[in-house]
Every structure is written in structure tokens, then in C-alpha cells.
Amino acid sequence: MKLDYGQLITRAFEITKNNRALWVFGFILALFGGLGFNFTFPNFSFDNSSFRRTDFDDIPFRKISSIDPTTIILIIVAVAVLLLVIWLIAKLLQALANGALVDMVDKVDKGDSITVKSGFKEGFSLSLPLVGVSFTIWIPAIIGIILLGGLTIGPGLFLVLAEYQVAGIILMILGGLLWIALIFIIAVASGVIGLYANRYLVLEDQGVIESIKSGFGLLRANLGQSTLLWLINMAFGVGQAIVGFVVLLVVVLVLSLVLGLPIALLALAVSKWLFILLAIPILLFIVAISFYAGLFQSFYSSYWTLAFKKMTETAEVSS
């Protein structure tokens, strides 16, 4: 039985719109699932007649050569460990949100009630296995991509090193294009297998390895439908990005016209608090864009969960 994509999208939209508890986990997923910002603020000083950068000569980092190398190594290790811990926490929160969304969408589709509390409870119990699914899929995929890079680009590089420059460069370009195509295929296939595996784990109570095998089998048995599902998802993603950019541009222009001058005057008056003045709107911006992206994350989870249920129901009937 073929999927009714129009009905699938409509149902996913209805579930997302009518169940605000999903929005909480969509927000978490958007915030910790790849939405990253890196802001750096130069230190400025102001006087009545000029606008200039503060003299950085007295900053200790300029005299880093005088610091003991052991101390530098310890600092680097500490920062690396801290970043690793933050990344692992983000992965766990992402998995928690993923598990909660899948479980809650399934319950809503069955007519059961859901709450944020129950979502956190279910998501917490599923977070570690879902992280296991992610690592088990993507670590081999990344290793495979690296090996394929050597196989596709390596022959051309060998010819270049052997002083067959023209032939080697041409072969490297062709190999590079092939490698890019293979990366795309592996990334898409791994992503879809992961989507299915997560749902086998959450909804069918399968283990990590078993769910990945089942996810691969479902993709292989429904390759055409899975491809179309992914393309529709991508179309929504492009639309999400375009709408988000337009809305963001309008908001920035309006706020710049309305609040730009007052904020600039206030910043000049209290230059020591410039970082805080800038940090507040930036934090509000991160929250707003995460909420916007979270609505789509809730929709995508509903979309893939409903599609998964339809395909697995079809497989059970066929068997």
C-alpha cells in the first residue's frame, strides 16, 4: 500500500498544532540538535570625541609565551574535556527530545493524552539507547566516508606524486566528485536508517543493534517511498529556512529603525555594560529562533513517525 503523502502531511500538521506539549521537546531538539552560535565581542572604549578599540597590550594573553608549557597543556586538556562534556550533554538532551517526541506522537495518534512530564519521563528512559543508535550508525559511516575518500582521490594523488600532473589532477577532480556523491548518498541513507531505527527502538521496544537492522530493512523494502519522504522533508526544510530568513530580516530592520538609535545612545552612555546590553537581545534571538525551529522539529517528528507506522503496518499486513 502506497503512502498518502497529502494525508500524512495534514495529519502531522494537525498533531503538531493541537499538542503544545510537543513544542517543548521540539524546542529542546532545535536548541541542542545543531543550532549553534558563536559570538565574539571586541572590547570597545568610548570618550566624548572618538570611537576606538581598547589597547590590548596589557592583556595577559599577549604574554602567553611566559606561561609554563605544562599549564598551557593542562588548560587545553581542561577545555577539551569541558567541550566534550557539553557535547555529550547536548547529545543526551537531543536524544531525550527525540524519544519523547516519537512516543508522544504515537500516543496522540492512538487517541491517548500526553503531558510534558510524561514526555520527559519517557524521553529520559530512552536517551542512552538512542545515543547508542546514533553512534552505532554514524561512527562506521564516517569511517567509511574517510576510506572512500582514499579510494576515490588516492589514485589521482598517486599519479600527481609520480609526476603525471595533468592526468593526476583530472583523476583527482573526478574522484573528488564521485566522493562527494558517495558522501551525499551515505549521509542520506544513514539519516533515514537512523530515523527508522529510533522508531523501532521507541515504538517496538527493540534493542540498539536490532533496531538498526530493522531500520535498514525498512529502508530497503521502501526505498522509493523513503526517498520521496526525504525529498518532501527537504522541501519543508528549504521553506522553513526561506520563511525564517525573511521574517528575521523584517524583524531586524524594524527593530533597527525603532530601537537602533536609543540602544546606540544607551551603549555610549554606559559603555562598561555594552556586553550585557548586547547579550540580552542575542539570548532572546536564540530563544526565538529555537522556538521557531522547534515547531518544525515537532512537525518533522510527527511526519516521520506517522510514515513509519503506516509502512510497518503495511509490512505486517503483507506478511
Helices vs strands, H then E, count in the chain: 8, 2
Confidence of residue 164 (pLDDT cuts 50, 70, 90): confident
> What is the average per-residue pLDDT within 18-42?
72
Quote the crossing angle between the two packed helices 165-203 and 223-269, to the nearest 10°. 100
Regarding predicted confidence, which is higher, 275 or 210?
210
In a domain, 165, yes or no: yes
Query: 11 vs 14, 39, 102, CA distance in Å?
Result: 5, 39, 15
Has residue 25 got a pLDDT over 90?
A: yes
Confidence at residue 42, expressed as pLDDT on a 0 to 100 scale: 38
Q: Are 280 and 77 in contact (CB under 8 A)?
A: no
Has residue 315 got a pLDDT over 60?
A: no
Q: Among 28-37, 67-76, 242-251, whose mean pLDDT is lowest?
A: 28-37
Element (H, E) at 302: helix 274-318
Phi first, then psi: what are they for 151, rounded to 5°?
-70, -35
The gap from C-alpha 145 to its chain's centroid, in whole angstroms, comes to: 20
Residue from 116, 112, 91, 92 nearest 24 by CA: 116
Confidence of residue 259 (pLDDT cuts 50, 70, 90): low
> What is the average per-residue pLDDT within 227-237?
94
Has residue 316 got a pLDDT over 80?
A: no
In a domain, 52, yes or no: no
* H helical segments located in the chain: 5-18, 21-32, 69-110, 116-161, 165-203, 208-221, 223-269, 274-318
In a domain, 258, yes or no: yes
Has residue 311 got a pLDDT over 90?
A: yes
Confidence of residue 266 (pLDDT cuts 50, 70, 90): low
> What is the average per-residue pLDDT within 18-40?
75
Regarding predicted confidence, which is higher, 280 or 31?
31
Residue from 54, 58, 59, 36 nearest 44 by CA: 54
> What is the average per-residue pLDDT within 236-249?
88
Give the whole-number percent of the chain exceeding pLDDT 70: 79
- What residues have CB less than 8 Å from 111, skipping those under 6 apart? none
**Buried (b) or exposed (e) across 58-94, using 16+ Cβ within 10 A?**
eeeeeeeeeeeeeeeeeeeeeeeeeeeeeeeebbbbb
Name the region of 55 (left: φ>0; alpha: ψ -120 to 50; beta: rest).
beta
In a domain, 87, yes or no: yes
Most confident among 144-153, 162-171, 309-318 (mean pLDDT) = 144-153
> What is the average per-residue pLDDT within 116-126?
94
In a domain, 31, yes or no: yes
Q: Are 24 and 88 in contact (CB under 8 A)?
A: no
In terms of residue numbers, what domain contains 107? 5-40+60-318
Has residue 57 got a pLDDT over 60?
A: no
In a domain, 151, yes or no: yes
Regarding predicted confidence, which is higher, 47 or 129?
129
Give tens-digit pLDDT for 139-155.
Answer: 999 999 999 999 999 99
Has residue 23 got a pLDDT over 50?
A: yes
Average pLDDT of the chain to the nearest whole number: 84
At residue 183, what is the residue type?
A: I
Has residue 27 got a pLDDT over 90?
A: yes
> What is the average per-residue pLDDT within 299-313?
94
How many folded domains does the chain comprise? 1
Rounded CA-CA distance 146/165 in Å is: 24
Has residue 287 got a pLDDT over 90?
A: no
Beta strands in 183-294 (DSSP E): none
* Neighbour tally for 206: CB within 10 Å: 19
Q: Are 135 and 41 in contact (CB under 8 A)?
A: no
Confidence of residue 138 (pLDDT cuts 50, 70, 90): very high
Confidence at residue 40, expressed as pLDDT on a 0 to 100 scale: 36
In a domain, 136, yes or no: yes
Scanning the structure block, which residue is given the C-alpha cell 566534550?
84
* Neighbour tally for 306: CB within 10 Å: 20
Confidence at residue 35, expressed as pLDDT on a 0 to 100 scale: 40
In a domain, 198, yes or no: yes
The gap from C-alpha 161 to its chain's centroid, in whole angstroms, comes to: 39
Has residue 67 got a pLDDT over 90?
A: no
